[in-house]
Amino acid sequence: MTSALVLAVVAATSFATGSDTTIAVRHGANLSVRNFTGDVHIRTWEKNAVRVQSSRPLRRAVRIASRGATLMIESPPEPDGPPHGEYHFVVPPWMAVDLSSVNSSATVRGLKGDLTIHTVGGMIDVDGGEGLVTLSSVLGPIRVIRAQGRILINSVNGPIELDEISGRIFAETVNGPIDIDRVVSDSVDASTVNGNLRYLGTIRAGGRYRLASHSGNIVVGMPEQAGATVSVATFNGEFESDFPITFRHSMGKRMRFTLGNGDASLDLESFLGKIRLRRPEMMKLKKIRRETESEGPDFDPPDPDEEDHE
């Protein structure tokens, strides 16, 4: 494939505050951003071009170049510490984007191409996305809404929130809760070491669902007509169900039973926490009540521990 981009190198000493640059691209091009510091915001437009805007004073040049079908943009570290400011990118909706950053948050709106974001310190907030969505943050929360495709999420110290997702999901964090809501999927693998886990979505025939927490509680909204073979394991916790169950196999804190036709596979494991199967309508009412009464930030997944006090 010939180069799909206009080759451009910024040779000036720096961009001025409020700089604005537009680079033409052809369909099929992708964007690679390497950013040291400064929050990044990405939205879409219908033009086959990438617009780059900076709202920060820069003492070193931002390098823009092309390599094959990739438009490469690099913001080097500032010599006197990170200045306050932001980058704004406007890209075609079909464009694949790969963003790597050290100290910055990222927001993405309306993108349909593949999306990859890696950051050390910062929040990741994505609305939309089709295809492969791969997100990771060491120190920061991750939220994805209205995406479809394959979703891969990894956080070390931060919560994960997934809402209105259609597609396969893999999500893991070490320190933080995981909240999965209004999901349509036949494959979900979610795990946290120190945090609660909440799942409200489909349980499809033939689907595989694994939810695990070492030190937290797990709450699953089980659709009324769904069929699943359920495996529950807890060492120092409890198990509760809104549905009548008959155990096919039970040994100590491990048990196995079938709901409905048992077509799906649902594995639930918590070493120290409680595991609950709830009716979805009860979980929705409790979430609405929390959101109505809460005065905290919207980016705070509901805590399954609160179910004990309802």
154, with CB counted inside 10 A (0-12, 13-18, 19+), is: middle
pLDDT at 10: 37
Cα dist from 222 to 82, 209, 226, 279, whole Å = 48, 12, 7, 6
Residue from 246, 259, 306 nearest 282 by CA: 306
Write out the two tokens for 102. 């050290």
Pairwise CA distance, residues 100 & 34, whole Å: 5
Number of residues in the chain: 310
Per the CB < 8 A criterion, the answer to whether 169 and 186 are in contact is no
Listed in sequence order, the residues at least 6 apart from 66 whose beta carbon sits closer than 8 Å to its beta carbon are 3, 5, 6, 7, 8, 72
pLDDT at 36: 78
β-bridge mates for residue 227, sequence order: none
10-residue stretch averages of pLDDT, the chain, 310 residues long: 38 47 93 89 96 70 84 75 73 96 92 95 94 95 96 96 97 96 96 96 95 95 89 88 76 82 95 91 57 42 46
Listed in sequence order, the residues at least 6 apart from 219 whose beta carbon sits closer than 8 Å to its beta carbon are 196, 197, 198, 199, 276, 278, 283, 304, 307
pLDDT at 3: 37
pLDDT at 281: 78
pLDDT at 32: 96
Pairwise CA distance, residues 78 & 137, whole Å: 22
pLDDT at 105: 93
Write out the two tokens for 299. 């980016």
Residue from 60, 55, 50, 59 nearest 5 by CA: 50
Neighbours of 48 (CB within 10 A): 15
pLDDT at 287: 56
